Amino acid sequence: MLKFSANVSLLFTEYELVKRFEAAKQSGFSAVEIQFPYSVPPEILASILAEQELKLVLFNIAADDLMQGGEGLACTPEKQAQFEEALAQAVAYAHYLKPEAINILPGRCFDKKRIKDYEATFKGNLLLAAETLKPLGIKAVFEAINIYDMSGFIVHNGKQMLAILDQLQHPNIYMQVDIYHLHRMGENVVEFIAQHIDKIGHIQFADCPGRGQPGTGNIDFKEVFSAIQQSSYSGWCGAEYKPVGGTFESLSWLKRFKVPDI
């Protein structure tokens, strides 16, 4: 059965962050995810989750300046010490929040002459994260982000993700498949999911173009959701879209596609 989590970094932004969890619960979600939880102390987040009876399934390791147009953290050779500090911070939060997976965003390289160094740095940091999270029972996931939204992103398609998995051969490293980003890069998402479901640790979705809720773009979500449901995937599917209209109004896709209860 499909399980849906609400990404409270993009959904319910009508409220301040700590109030979005209650809004997610009221909308019927039993699980949430968050991009970067670090603006709120972990013990407070844990208390809110317990009060609302919500499970936090995923968050990201801090990514420095990535969201402001910079290179980010995990792939930049000069930021190795900073990445290790960010990993330690994520582990500290994980002790309180108990996520199923933590996402390591690869980042960007703006100097093409250094791409090999950036790729090597990311792979080393991904291995470090995987080893660090394994004793905690937390999956290390990483994702491809399309180069139209984030130019220079070093991992931007499914082939690259698969190559990294093949090279590293680590049992605690999985792909985070974002349906929006793969579709934006022209990939057949349904086919990719069907072929590589055993290597996927988390799924996120938004429609394309626009990154709005299902039904606002040209992705056939009935087909996508059916493919996930028919696969062996037992993880969560994160609604990580930018609502067209209010968040509550945007949730009509649940009924439209006749998705099982969330």
Which of the residues are catalytic? 143, 240
How far, in Å, CA of 246 to CA of 105, rounded? 28
**Which DSSP state fits 153?**
B
Q: Say how many CA atoms lie within 13 Å of 122 toward its Cβ.
A: 31
Please identify which residue in the block is written with the tokens 């290597």. Answer: 199
Residue type, 73: L
Contact 179, 189 (CB under 8 A): yes
Residue 128 CB neighbours (<10 A): 17
Q: Locate all alpha helices (DSSP H) within 60-212, ordered by sequence.
A: 80-97, 115-133, 158-168, 179-184, 189-196
Please identify which residue in the block is written with the tokens 């330690």. Answer: 88
Torsion angle, CA of 258/260/184/248, rounded to 10 degrees? Answer: 80
Query: From the centroid of its chain, how far is CA 91?
Result: 17
- Helices and strands counted in the chain (H then E): 10, 8
